[in-house]
């Protein structure tokens, strides 16, 4: 079970941004180095974050990205859906169009458990939860590192 590479990148980038304690924007370049995400690819992801209203961008010298709303208002689900990572509540591992509690496919019951736990996770985890977990990842964001 995994996220797509892009979805993983999106979570990573947003996690890094929330860890930046001062109010200055993080440039794409710094963010790319801190997260290990290919810089041009990261740019595309960030563009989507801006369009989705999760992040604000600032062009030009000293510019970069910062969160557009409070960390606790940004759920993982919002981030994942922004990069087109569909968490389809009715998707069926068996490939059935109609698959629900009334008309379950052979794998419906067991698969539902797992799907529900992912749903819960993505809807309830926010960037605030990332900020609450102290560790030294912030040091990655030093603009003069590397």
Partner DNA sequence: TTTTTAATAGATATTCAAGTCTATTGAAAA
Partner DNA sequence: TTTTCAATAGACTTGAATATCTATTAAAAA
Q: How far is the CB of 6 from DNA (least distance, A)?
A: 3
Nearer to DNA, 58 or 124 (CB): 58
Query: CA torsion 75→78→41→134, rounded to 10°?
Result: 0
Q: Is position 119 an interface residue for DNA (rule: CB under 7 A)?
A: no
Q: Is position 105 an interface residue for a second copy (rule: CB under 8 A)?
A: yes
Contacts to a second copy by CB under 8 A: 1-3, 8, 11-12, 15-16, 19, 35-36, 76, 87, 91, 93-95, 103-110, 113-115, 117-118, 121-122, 125, 129-130, 133, 135, 137
């Amino acid at each position: 079970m995994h996220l797509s590479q892009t979805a993983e990148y999106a979570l990573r980038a947003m996690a890094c941004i929330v860890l930046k304690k001062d109010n200055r924007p993080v440039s794409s370049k710094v963010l790319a180095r801190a997260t290990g995400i290919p810089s041009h690819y990261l740019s595309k992801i960030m563009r989507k974050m801006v369009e989705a209203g999760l992040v604000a961008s600032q062009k030009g010298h000293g510019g970069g990205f910062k969160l557009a709303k409070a960390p606790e208002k940004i759920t993982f689900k919002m981030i994942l859906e922004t990069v087109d990572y569909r968490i389809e509540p009715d998707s069926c591992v068996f490939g059935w169009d109609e698959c629900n509690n009334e008309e379950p496919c052979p794998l419906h019951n067991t698969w539902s458990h797992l799907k529900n736990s992912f749903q819960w996770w993505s809807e309830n985890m926010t960037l605030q939860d990332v900020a609450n977990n102290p560790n030294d990842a912030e040091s990655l964001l030093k603009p003069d590192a590397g």
